[in-house]
Amino acid sequence: MKICGLTRPEDVDAVVEAGADAIGFVFYPPSARYVTPQRAAELAARLPAFVTPVLLFVNTPADDVIAAASAIPGALLQFHGDETPEECWASSRQGHSAFLRAARIPLDPDGPPFDLIGFSKRFDRAKAILLDAHVPGYGGGGRTFDWSLLPAAPDAHLVLSGGLTPDNVADGIAALRPLCRTLAVDVSSGVEASKGIKDHGKVRAFIEAVRG
């Protein structure tokens, strides 16, 4: 599981102590959770072995992605914008990093269904497809999408995101785990006291709910 949007050293330490597998740093300047690559490198230096830093980009120039990946060895890249499969692969290859690709799932139940299988095939070099709600701007805005509308994608590695909290994450896992090859979860606003500031009690409750 990944806790995203870390900005403070005390939150990094608390998330690690609670048992997270990965920690996300947002490199999208309009976000309230934005950190500079230098700041992210300082925070990532606190991570022990087997806790993975994940670097989130939105339509970032390839040279900047590669520079950030070089500054934080062992990081995963997470693309949340309009990046093509070729752009994701080129940046990840030159930065010597694997990548995740975010898919924006429509919130309108009466609209056309999201083509998860087609999206997964387009981004077949991604380590996983991250599912987030399609809201204005980029990121899920703390909104959940209708999990029941997703088709089965038995060959896909998925990451469920968007509006998760300690209270609903178990339901999300139960809904999506039978549909895919593997499932992970990713949370940001659902474990915050305010934007960019993590609530350590909520972090612990979220991780306990996932492990349960």
SS3 for 24? strand
- Pairing status of strand 192-194 against strand 180-187: unpaired
List phi, psi (to 5°) of 195. -60, 120
Tell me the sheet residues that pair with 2: 22, 186
Rounded to an integer, what distance in angstroms lies between the CA atom of residue 170 and that of residue 157? 18
Residue with tokens 């690690």: 16
The residue from 4, 88, 180, 186 that is catalytic is 4
The residue from 11, 88, 132, 180 that is catalytic is 132
Neighbours of 110 (CB within 10 A): 5
Q: Is 132 assigned a catalytic role?
A: yes
Compute CA 177 distance to the chain's CA centroid, rounded to the nearest angstrom: 17
Rounded to an integer, what distance in angstroms lies between the CA atom of residue 190 and that of residue 62? 30
List phi, psi (to 5°) of 119. -65, -45
Closest-CA residue to 83 (of 17, 138, 31): 138
Tell me the sheet residues that pair with 23: 3, 53
Active site residues: 4, 132
